[in-house]
Chain A
Amino acid sequence: NAGVMQNPRHLVRRRGQEARLRCSPMKGHSHVYWYRQLPEEGLKFMVYLQKENIIDESGMPKERFSAEFPKEGPSILRIQQVVRGDSAAYFCASSTSGTGINYGYTFGSGTRLTVV
């Protein structure tokens, strides 16, 4: 039973390019959460999605960032026109329900984005 799969593991983008980060939740999980970890910081919540719905995007920057979780396929976190400050590790977690917080998420290994 594969865990939460994120790809790519490492991503290098030049300033102004687009970054696409993918997250395949655990089998049977329909709730996905994205977090960002800046250097020397803890994880910060970004967005919570169910299939085809954004439930809570209170942690998403207002511009350049978007997320989706289509009916089929992985969840995608998209960052347009990346800047150096976007360099961070981006983690995805999944759960079977919105109360996955009660039991602790299952996290993926993350995508480490470097903007040069």
Chain B
Amino acid sequence: AQSVTQLDSQVPVFEEAPVELRCNYSSSVSVYLFWYVQYPNQGLQLLLKYLSGSTLVESINGFEAEFNKSQTSFHLRKPSVHISDTAEYFCAVGTGGSQGNLIFGKGTKLSVKP
């Protein structure tokens, strides 16, 4: 069975500091990996995804994540955060096929302070 572990439930950082949100997964088959962001009282927005190819994927707002197969990790990083990055971030894994359901981690609340 697949599972996703987000090791930190809360991450407080100061503005312009770097941040890493950790995500580890377990699966016996090839996976697709996603990061979603949820702002307060809103739905989830896809931040970035790994399907195949280059193990480093980037989003349009400066986040990046690296797929590490040997460590079964997909950590999310940003070199310099902004107040507006304050949100909850969810890592998710799927295996494609026709079932279509994703397995989500419990989320990491990123709090950026001035």
Contact = CB atoms under 8 A, between A and B. Distances in A.
Interface in A58-116: 58-59, 91, 95, 98-110, 112
A106 B42 CA distance: 13
Contact of B106 (A40, A45, A58, A105): A40
Contact of A44 (B6, B42, B104): B104
B100 A56 contact: yes
Interface residues of B, number: 28
B101 A48 contact: yes
Interface in B55-88: none
Contacts of B44: 43, 91, 107
Interface in A16-62: 31, 33, 35, 40-45, 48, 55-56, 58-59
Interface string B31-49: 0101010000111111001
Contacts, number: 80
A101 B100 contact: yes
Given A42-B105, A91-B43, A107-B44, A98 B49 contact: no
Chain B CB within 10 A, most for which of A41, A101, A103:
A101
A95 B45 contact: no
B100 A100 contact: yes
A95 B46 CA distance: 13
Contacts of A112: 41
Interface of B: 4, 6, 32, 34, 36, 41-46, 49, 51, 90, 92, 94, 96-107
